[in-house]
Structure 1
């Protein structure tokens, strides 16, 4: 009996750590998406719901990927399990690919290089916008 109780606590603790991976805004966005696809409002989503949800979050999951997510879940997919699966999905993204895509967004002429004017434009218009004097 004590063994089962300890085992359950360990699993719950492991799943609850997923809330520290995302900031509050991300959690709210995931919760909104989860709620939209929990059609019967029972707190769980099935395979088709999960596929639709991933599409709504900008993902392009294959049938095999969705099937593997469902199989990874230790039972029905509730919100905590969904966050756990999303954390695993997002941690497996390729940072090099992300960097290349970001670079290409600044390379307006497609030359493979970012020239001074493209860099100035990006620095003046994105994130913490810099003034003309700061950009130089």
Structure 2
């Protein structure tokens, strides 16, 4: 039998550690933290179907006395220094695809498909927030 080299053993050991580290995200947390996550999830999952969906979030916001549409509008207003109610589509696309929780091209296109955008390329974020929270009107 051929003996494995040190380099091979080191490589295999690193591979096993990386697989072990990514195989269970909960291994990064202690039991009390995991229990807190489960409790928070249960509180938000109002209809108890095992998924947090749009209705669960609406119920959660309502129970906190928060209007989800207003929360989203306020987030967009941070980018609207002139308080015009619109943001340039290209500037917004650059920001959403390069910062923090980046949008994929598909997610960005989904937003642009429902967003009211004028001929100058300005996105009406107040109307978009209404559509996101209330749905689109059927034509």
Q: What range describes the TM-score normalised by the shorter chain of this pair? A: 0.3 to 0.5
* Higher relative strand content: 2
Higher CA-based Rg: 2
* Higher relative helix content: 1
